[in-house]
A and B are shown apart, each in its own frame.
Chain A
Amino acid sequence: MSSRESAYERKLFGFGAVINEYWNDEMRRKIALDYDADKKIFIRAKSISGLFTLLLSVIALVLLMVVRENLMTAGVYISLIIAFSRLIHTLSWQLSDLLKEHTKKRLYLEDLSRFERLEELPGSDSVPDRRILDMPFESLVFDHVSFTYPQSDREVLHDFCLAVYPGKQYAFVGRNGCGKSTVIKLLTGLYNDYSGRILLNGRDIRSLSAAEIKAYFAVVYQDYGKYQLPAREQLQLGNASLADPEIAALLEQTGLAQKVGSLPLGADAPLGKLEPGSADLSEGQWQRLTLARSFGRQAKLLVLDEPAAALDALAESRIYRIIRDIGARRCTTTLYVTHRLAAARSADEIILMKDGRIIEQGTHAALLARDSYYAQMFNTQRKWYLRGQVAKA
């Protein structure tokens, strides 16, 4: 009802009243539950204090007889009664409060310890170990890899085999759900329980530490996070040693120099909406910033999942040009997933996936020459760009 992100759909679609009713229903249910629980608690607390009051009366009565026999003075008797009645007050109220708090805290603690017991992935919080970058990249081989997501019975990768060599560009294409993104997830160690092996320079990547994998592969995910930080810190997140000229160069390469330069604080201006005076970026600018960060990491392999989805045509072709340039200059190898076949075309090797397998593989020209699935796909997209080909409706 009140989130910033849904403000536009809420306004346009006018769903506020109905969703608010959903919320009210949940609240009513919660209040009814509270009502029952509170009823029990109060009845219990009050029966305890009633019982204590009874006890007090009995004690008062018994002692009163003692007083009658002049075995106790009135002063002692009165102070005893006052002390007892305060004690009862404490017991009936504070004790039940304490018990209630105790129950609550115990539940919290149970949740906390259950959370603490969750299995930890070793190295998930480690900082990239950049020393491994001294190791030149020779090859990356997927050796009969099959994988099923936990709690799922559908195998997303079947017997997947692929060899990747230095300095080349690989484009993964295929329909939604064909397993393209899964390849990336396995490569970067997000899941380890696959069958078969993934070999980096002949070594099983499961023998590398998480810190080494993080340094060796620079990944850009499809759902990239918008860190609300100044541009400089955004880039330094990926590589803390970046100096001013390098930061300026990265912003320039990704076409962000003008935008960042227009801010009063430049690369130190806060981005996003976190504090007053922050500059917000468009979807495409956020994506470019994420890309700039991945370039700045100087990793051996660049892994990009749909890196240009939000970019305009000029920016997109610029990004792919940068990817090629950086690849050539640093001998970086790039793997990317894309739906835009125009982008795939420039890759050295196109890998077409279907149902978790590679069904076609080769250069754009080679694939197009055959009557391939790829050619079919390419032509579907291409005909939008040919004169007089689109029949309206």
Chain B
Amino acid sequence: MSPTKEEGFLQIARKALPLVCRVSPGLFVFEYAVTVLDALLLVLTTVALRDFFEHVTGLTAGSVSFDSTLMSLLLFALLKVADEVIDGVANFIGEHYAGKSSQVMMNELNLKADRLDALDFEDPQILNQMDQAYRGAYNVRNLVHVLMDIACLYIPYFVFMGVFLRRAEPMLPLILLLVFVPVLASHFLRSSYYTRLDDRTVALRRKEKHYKECLTARAFFKETRALGAGAFFLSRYIQAFKNAQELRYQTELGSQGVAIAASGLALAGYTAILGILVSLVIRGRITIGSFSAILAATLEMFAMMTEVLDNRLGELSAGLGQIRKYFRFLDLPEQEYGRIHVDDPKDIVLEGVTFTYPGAARPALSGISLRITAGETLAVVGENGSGKTTLAKLILGLYRPDKGRILVGDVPLRELASSSAYKNASCVFQDFQRYQLSLRDNVAISDFIKLSASSDDEIQDALAAAGFRADDQQMTQGLDTLISKEFGGTDLSRGEWQRLSIARAYYRSHQLIVLDEPTAAIDPFEEDRIYRDFMRLKKNHTAVIITHRLGAVRLADRVLVLKEGRIADIGTHDRLLDESQYYRRLWTAQSRYLQ
């Protein structure tokens, strides 16, 4: 996917550790201190058990008193209870820390997504990366947790147990090591299977999601039903699912093959240890009590080894690919800003601007040179696909031109500081959003800073100017009414949503406002009123109006006619009507029905 070299396991771990530790350093230290204690208790329990068993053997032989046997039983029981308690505490803190960490990790992603270029969201590759990154967020803590557990629990445990076993027979730890190393290696092998799997299934997952939406999402289901296309999308969905499943199957086949070989090896090691122990007992080198205790300890060590390798590292290797995506997403390049601040209304100047969407064969706009004078109202007209909305996004600073430049006053857009880049610009988007928030937040979302500094009056004013009836009986709790069907609030019609989006744009403090097809879903009386109010309220703001309802261009000082990404003409409505044949065609296509 990317030409950069894949980051190794250690590099990722080095990035993840401080990130996870910072979530709550105190708790982090406490969690692993408890873990070390847990390891210690585990070992002590094993030693105590062996001691107890030797006492029992001694008791039957008559060489040990009943009381001292009883004492050793008591010691074992106490240690066992303590171990259970400590283990519980460690696990409980672990769960809590996992929840907290995934919040922090996802928070990073949210903020990163917020800093990305708007254009990045048009790029399927980046969208895929983001999808993987969000899935990786949970695993970042998991990675650190596994590594910390290995350092604080498993390594101390295995070292102590190694010493414990060595005292019985020096061969025993060696055999354990011989088993451990290849099994560990097999896990790194398996991890590469899962990384490859995730890369290959991510596109399928997005398909699955879309087909499911075609069947069930509100935007689709009416139409899908009317077309009787349910079966079609269902089969597409199943196909995408099956393809992903097939990939998963292939991966599991390879991965489990490796796992079986590793388990065979572990079994051989276990048999060897059993053989050695039996021979030690026969030769009288150890007692029956020690034999049992060592055998029990070995069993437990194998269980621990399986736990750390199969479950813990196994989980980790499955998630490693996603964690890698997590960090790669955080490292994506961001929009660069300069340092200059602009406050007063300024002319907006486009000089030879050309813009091509990523992956598109032809530029959406080419050679656009234009000066929008501060305070002017400019209408932009043209056929579908002529580049009107793209132009709006360039003027707003949401896109950066490939060639040419855009100046605010005499400052190039790219030299503006990030705080100034979108300041004072507002927009009614054609594809306006429907936020599942309260009515107040749905308006104030365009300018939360303003909300914190002013009363609700301004929200009411914006709603009134947009013709949204906030006192409607539907708005049961006034501005606090939740506008959302999904979360059990009030739902709005498309026309009402559109008015809400106009109110949103009005509310934002602005000197430049772009209206991109603001009245498509609104009736003629309302449309008339909205445009009139707009002109009354706009004062000395600069306005760009994009519309297919050409009547509204009469409000504009000048009309810009776009055709196939180029400026066909620009001038007053009257002049264009007289001189531009193309504009006349557009105009009469609509106006002749209204004569």
Contacts and interface: CB of A to CB of B under 8 A. Distances in A.
A381 B495 CA distance: 17
A11 to B, nearest CB: 4
A176 B535 contact: no
B328 to A, nearest CB: 15
B227 A28 contact: no
Interface string A258-271: 01001000000000
Given A340-B549, A381-B551, A392-B555, A225 B520 contact: no
A315 B549 CA distance: 12
A176 B214 contact: no
Interface string A58-69: 001100100110
Interface stretch (B54-62, B193-201, B366-374, B406-414): B54-62
B321 interface: no
Given A68-B66, A346-B593, A283 B203 contact: no
A4 B231 contact: no
Given A15-B445, A280-B122, A313 B214 contact: no
B231 A312 contact: no
A108 interface: no
Contacts of A53: 77, 80-81, 84
B525 A175 contact: yes
Contacts of A39: 92
Interface in A43-95: 43, 45-46, 49-50, 53-54, 56-57, 60-61, 64, 67-68, 70, 73-75, 77-79, 81-82, 85, 92
Contacts of A311: 384, 548
Contacts of A225: 214, 217, 219-220, 223-224
Given A68-B59, A222-B521, A342-B590, A42 B91 contact: yes
A227 B214 CA distance: 7
Please classify how large the interface on chain B is, using the bins under 10, 10 to 19, 20 to 34, 35 or more. 35 or more
A35 B425 CA distance: 44
Nearest to A264: B361
A23 B130 CA distance: 18
A393 interface: yes
- The listed residue with most B CB atoms (<10 A of its CB), out of A17, A68, A74, is A74
Interface string A282-297: 1111001010010000
B446 interface: yes
Nearest to B514: A12
Contact of A78 (B53, B73, B549): B53
A128 interface: yes
A96 to B, nearest CB: 10
A82 B125 CA distance: 56
Main SS of the interface on chain B?
helix
Interface string A359-393: 00000000000000000011011101101011011
Given A1-B114, A5-B431, A222-B494, A345 B593 contact: yes
B398 A11 contact: yes
Nearest to B498: A176
Please classify how large the interface on chain A is, using the bins under 10, 10 to 19, 20 to 34, 35 or more. 35 or more
A273 interface: yes
Interface in B483-500: 493-496
Contacts of B386: 312
Interface string A12-38: 111111111001100110110011001
B432 interface: yes
A8 B550 contact: no
B528 A381 contact: yes
B523 A188 contact: no
Contacts of B496: 176
B521 A276 contact: no
A284 B125 CA distance: 25
Interface stretch (A119-127, A132-140, A196-204, A328-336): A119-127
A41 to B, nearest CB: 8
A313 to B, nearest CB: 4
A387 to B, nearest CB: 8
Contacts of A343: 593
Interface string B572-592: 001000000000011101110
Contacts of B361: 262
Given A16-B111, A224-B223, A61 B520 contact: no
B555 A390 contact: yes
A391 B259 CA distance: 81
Main SS of the interface on chain A?
helix
Contacts of A238: 227
A8 B118 contact: yes
B69 interface: yes
A20 B107 contact: yes
B594 interface: yes
A73 B127 contact: no
Interface in B444-494: 445-448, 493-494
A99 interface: no
Contact of A11 (B81, B107, B118): B118
Contact of A313 (B53, B81, B495, B587): B587
B324 interface: no
Contacts of A385: 550-551, 554, 587, 590-591, 594-595
Interface stretch (B11-19, B94-102, B148-156, B177-185): B94-102
A176 B425 CA distance: 29
Nearest to B103: A27
A128 B228 contact: yes
Interface in B28-63: 53, 56-57, 59-60
A15 B446 contact: yes
A274 B124 contact: yes
A228 B223 CA distance: 14
Contacts of A73: 60
Closest 4 CB pairs between A and B?
Answer: A384-B551, A284-B384, A16-B114, A342-B593
Interface of B: 53, 56-57, 59-60, 66, 69-70, 73-74, 77, 80-81, 84-85, 88-89, 91-92, 95-96, 99-100, 103, 106-107, 109-111, 113-114, 118, 120-122, 124-125, 127, 130, 134, 203, 206-207, 210, 214, 217-220, 222-232, 288-289, 292, 296, 357, 359, 361, 381-386, 389, 393, 396, 398, 422, 425-427, 429-433, 435, 445-448, 493-496, 504, 508, 517, 520-528, 535-536, 548-552, 554-555, 574, 585-587, 589-591, 593-595
Interface of A: 1-2, 4-20, 23-24, 27-28, 30-31, 34-35, 38-39, 42-43, 45-46, 49-50, 53-54, 56-57, 60-61, 64, 67-68, 70, 73-75, 77-79, 81-82, 85, 92, 124-128, 174-177, 188, 190, 211, 214, 217, 219, 221-225, 227-228, 237-238, 259, 262, 272-278, 280, 282-285, 288, 290, 293, 306, 309-317, 339-343, 345-346, 377-378, 380-382, 384-385, 387, 389-390, 392-393
Given A278-B124, A342-B591, A343-B593, 6 more contacts: A1-B114, A11-B422, A60-B73, A75-B288, A225-B223, A282-B385
23 contacts: A2-B110, A6-B433, A8-B118, A9-B445, A10-B114, A12-B426, A18-B445, A34-B95, A50-B81, A125-B225, A125-B230, A221-B222, A223-B494, A272-B210, A273-B122, A273-B127, A276-B125, A284-B384, A306-B520, A313-B587, A316-B548, A380-B525, A382-B595
